[in-house]
Structure 1
Amino acid sequence: MKIKVSIVDDNSFLIHAIKEKLLFFDDIEIKHTALNGSELLTKLEENHNLDIILMDIEMPVLNGVETTQMVKQKYPQIKIIMLTAFDNDEHIFNAIKAGADGYLLKEISPEELYKGIKETLNGGAAMNPSIALKTLKLLRNPIDIDNLKDKEEISLTKREVEVLEQLSKGLSYTAIAKNLFLSPSTVRKHIENSYKKLQVHSKIEAVQKAKRHNII
């Protein structure tokens, strides 16, 4: 019995590269390829006799995470392995939440890719080691998951972080100014900017939020 595979990637060169890797194995048959999630869904409507989909994450029209969710709702029997160039924490978590059965990096060797496909079809989960490690970390620190989105939006300057660190020790504006060789009005400006970026209104809130996001 041949393993029927579909490859979804917005880069046709990468589709070709994955095809080349799978050509080594006689029991793999590439049913179809698609350049985005929307194209894949159309092809599945015509023929969903598939065993496994190798899915890119960052694609136009319909990305890999959204597509995975839709495919899993409609065709839960089809296994999906995310094939991505990045082991980005938020992607990993969202893909797993959407129902992905495995998560591998694109630069994988043909043997490892084949092993991952077989493993997933046998009820396992194909996972690149660095991704497995990140997934464990995410599970150990669920609070990080809630903060991933916020963390990306909070970018304080080195100075603002230094001022916040001093503030967290309970120091006054004047003491902070002295320690950092700044004027008290500059310290006040840095603190105002930090409040704005952190979306808080008090010293306590600012310090708590910065700690929660590992900023200080």
Structure 2
Amino acid sequence: MGKRVAIAEDNILALRSIIDKLSVYDDIEVVYTANNGLEMMNHQQLESIDLAIMDIEMPVMDGIKATQQIHERYPEIKILMLTTYDDDDKVFNSLLAGATGYLLKSESSKYIYQSIISILDGGAVMSASIALKTINYIKREEEKNCVQFSLTERELEILTELKKGLAYKEIASKLFLSEGTVRKHIENIYRKLQVNNKVSAINIATENKIIK
């Protein structure tokens, strides 16, 4: 049975290009097309599709907003963003809205097809340049959080060992410090994170991706 796909794209030339790229694959059926996100979301056949291919910049309702609403109403429908935009905000807002793929329109028909199959098999896909942006974004956020709380490298080490469940004495032995020094570092950690216990410190550090 073919994979049932719908496409939201307001540019007629881009739409024809996407349909042409998919037309060579017998197991992909383009069920319907829409000119904007609202039209996609309100289509009577929406519930029957397996995957929505979504442009981002469209009139009436953009692709990110439509993605969020479709994902909330029909979480079983997979959504692939196919766009010319590669800026950070659009990438991450799309992923947060519920998209499981983000490809640039310049990708080959074979890669778009393989990405659709991968998504429908439970995977997530990105163009190579988008994946690199995502990695760099995560790194920047981690660095930003460390700067925000001003934790030193030693404090991060001790906080990581605390998360592993090690006692002060065990941390001191592992890091070749005195137990008193470890306690002093932990006091500084609590002060910087504005907490008064180990559990709260670990939770804040983990939530903010200061430690893994």
8 A contact 2:82–2:105 mirrored in 1: yes
**How large is the Cα RMSD of the aligned pairs?**
1.8
Gaps of at least 5 residues in structure 2 are 145-212
CA distance in 2, matches of 1:102, 1:138: 17
CA distance in 2, matches of 1:52, 1:144: 36
CA distance in 2, matches of 1:72, 1:142: 26
Instruction: State the Cα distance separating 1:144 from its structure 2 match.
Output: 9.4
The AA in structure 2 aligned to 1:108 is E
Matches within 5 A, 1:34-113: 34-43=34-43, 45-113=44-112
CA distance in 1, matches of 2:31, 2:73: 18
The AA in structure 1 aligned to 2:110 is E
Q: Is the partner of 1:48 in helix, strand or coil?
A: helix
CA distance in 2, matches of 1:64, 1:42: 13
CA distance in 2, matches of 1:64, 1:144: 31
8 A contact 1:138–1:144 mirrored in 2: no
CA distance in 2, matches of 1:3, 1:83: 17
CA distance in 2, matches of 1:144, 1:33: 42
Q: TM-score scaled to structure 2, two decimals?
A: 0.65
The AA in structure 1 aligned to 2:124 is A
Gaps of at least 5 residues in structure 1 are 146-216
Aligned residues: 145
The AA in structure 1 aligned to 2:9 is D
* 2:128 aligned partner: 129
Q: TM-score scaled to structure 1, two decimals?
A: 0.64
The AA in structure 2 aligned to 1:31 is V
The AA in structure 2 aligned to 1:137 is N
CA distance in 1, matches of 2:70, 2:136: 27
Instruction: State the Cα distance separating 1:138 from its structure 2 match.
Output: 1.3
Runs of 4+ more than 6 Å apart: none
CA distance in 1, matches of 2:67, 2:134: 18
| Sequence identity (%) | 43
* 1:3 aligned partner: 3
Q: Is the partner of 2:125 in helix, strand or coil?
A: coil
Q: Is the partner of 2:90 in helix, strand or coil?
A: helix
Instruction: State the Cα distance separating 1:111 from its structure 2 match.
Output: 0.4
Instruction: State the Cα distance separating 1:46 from its structure 2 match.
Output: 4.4
CA distance in 2, matches of 1:91, 1:144: 22
Instruction: State the Cα distance separating 1:142 from its structure 2 match.
Output: 2.3
CA distance in 2, matches of 1:9, 1:124: 23
